[in-house]
Every structure is written in C-alpha cells, then in structure tokens.
Amino acid sequence: MAKLNWFYFAAPNTFYPLAGKMIPWFTAAALGLAAIGLYIGFFVAPTDFQQGEGYRIIFVHVPTAWMSMFLYVVMAFWAAIGLAFNTRLSSMMAQAIAPTGALMTFLALWTGSLWGKPMWGAWWVWDARLTSELILLFLYIGFMALQASIDDPRRADRAGAVLAIVGVINVPIIYFSVQWWNTLHQGASVSITRSPSMATTMLWGMLVMALAFWMYSIAVVLVRVRAIILERERNTDWVRDLKARGAAK
C-alpha cells in the first residue's frame, strides 16, 4: 500500500496548481456565506433593546477582530515551521498572510470606532482591547516592514519568523486583557462554558460571517502565495514550463 505522502504539497511546484484549483471554491464559499450572514444580520436578527440598530456592526466587527488575532497565530505558526524545517512554502505562506491579517486588524479597529461612537460617545477610547488591537496592527506592520527591508528572501523569512514568534506572545495578552484590566469595554459575549448572553440569531449571524471572513482570508492568501511562488521561483524550470505552456495556449 502506498503511504500517503503528507509532504507532497509542501513543494511550491505541486502546491501552485493545487492552490489554483482551491481558490474558486473558497471564493464561492466566502461570497455565499457572506450573503447568508448579512441577510441574518440585517433582516433576521432582532433590534437590540439597549443598543438599537447600531449594534449590527458586530457582524463585521467581531469576525474581523477574531480573524486578526487568529491570522497572527497562523502566520507565526507557518513562520516557525519555515524556520524550524527550512520549508520554503511555509515561509511564503507566512509572508502571504501578513497583509490580510493587517487588513483585518484595521477593519476591526475601524468598525470598532464606528460602533464606539453611538455606544460610548467617542470614536476612540483607550481601553485594553482597543489598545491591544492597535498593538497588533503595529506588529503586523513591523513584520511586513522587516521583510520588505531585507533583500535576501531567505534572511527575510527567517528574521520575520523570529519577530513573529516574539510577537505572538502579544496575542494571549490581547485575549486576557479584558480580565487583567477591568475597563469599560464589555466582556466577551461569546463563551463556550457559559450560555451566550445574546440572541441566538445574532450569534448565528456572527458565526456565519466569521466563516465568510475565514473563507475570504484563505482565498486571498492563496492568490497571494501563488504570486509569491512565481516571483521567487521565476528561475526554475517548472515556472518556465508554465510560462511556455501559457504562451502556447
């Protein structure tokens, strides 16, 4: 029996076509889930008795905030794998995730500020979670700036990996900041152990939207990683073949 080779797709030349095949599926999933999530968010979920209609921004705010933290961990994971095993593709993945993560962080901050204005009466408050989210944005920017300023891609990957691993310490700080600093930001509304303190339809809308953002992130990261693969492997035979075949078509 042939042993399943887990590392078959770890090579950029085998991953490139696979990623190309996966992109349409994830794009479709992202669009479909976003349509369902937005429908639930706008038409099914009831108006909040305290916060009125303004609360509906959470259907974008909460998923982007989740993704911003999650993507940082994923980025650090791939960067660490790339550092430990010297796999080229892992480091390219880390590099491809960073801009999407930064975008999610920025969106979370922006929508949070839009939400904060009617709720707290201020666009920005120096609350622990907002501040940690801002720090997260700085961490993403630092990671990208470090990689951009190193010309040798191998050194850029490894230096970025060390920085990402050091920065990942920040993600738990974000998560536990609510318990550490008792501030005016409301505590986490979704918890596994407690029954959720929000209406079920709101929760569903949020979860569906989170899945939509997840699918979007995967699709965009795959597109970006394909571009990075082509750029870095431009001198290899398989990319030349690809180009020749593309030209022949």
Which residues form the interface with other proteins (CB under 8 A)? 131, 135, 138-139, 141-142, 145-146, 149-150, 155, 158-159, 162-163, 165-167, 170, 173
When the beta carbons of 137 and 222 are compared against other proteins, the nearer one is 137
Spatial separation of the C-alpha atoms in residues 85 and 82, rounded to whole Å? 6
Q: Least distance in Å: CB of 96 to other proteins?
A: 20
Phi-psi region of 87 (alpha: psi -120 to 50; beta: other; left: phi over 0): beta
Q: Least distance in Å: CB of 126 to other proteins?
A: 10
When the beta carbons of 18 and 145 are compared against other proteins, the nearer one is 145
Q: DSSP H helical segments within the chain, as ranges?
A: 12-39, 58-85, 88-120, 128-149, 153-167, 170-180, 200-232, 237-248
Q: Least distance in Å: CB of 151 to other proteins?
A: 9
142-158 per-residue burial string, b: 16 or more CB within 10 A, e: under 16: ebbeebeeeeebeebbb
Q: Least distance in Å: CB of 155 to other proteins?
A: 6
When the beta carbons of 135 and 230 are compared against other proteins, the nearer one is 135
When the beta carbons of 64 and 132 are compared against other proteins, the nearer one is 132
When the beta carbons of 131 and 201 are compared against other proteins, the nearer one is 131
When the beta carbons of 16 and 68 are compared against other proteins, the nearer one is 68
Spatial separation of the C-alpha atoms in residues 26 and 220, rounded to whole Å? 9
Cβ pair 217, 85 in contact under 8 A: no
Q: Least distance in Å: CB of 85 to other proteins?
A: 15
Q: Least distance in Å: CB of 183 to other proteins?
A: 12
Q: Which residues contact 154 (CB under 8 A, 6 or more apart)?
A: none
Show contacts of 140-148: CB within 8 Å, 24+ apart. 140/72, 140/98, 140/101, 140/102, 140/105, 141/102, 142/167, 143/75, 143/98, 143/167, 144/98, 144/99, 144/102, 147/95, 147/98
Handedness of CA 120, 212, 91, 226 (dihedral sign): negative
When the beta carbons of 38 and 168 are compared against other proteins, the nearer one is 168
Q: Least distance in Å: CB of 141 to other proteins?
A: 7
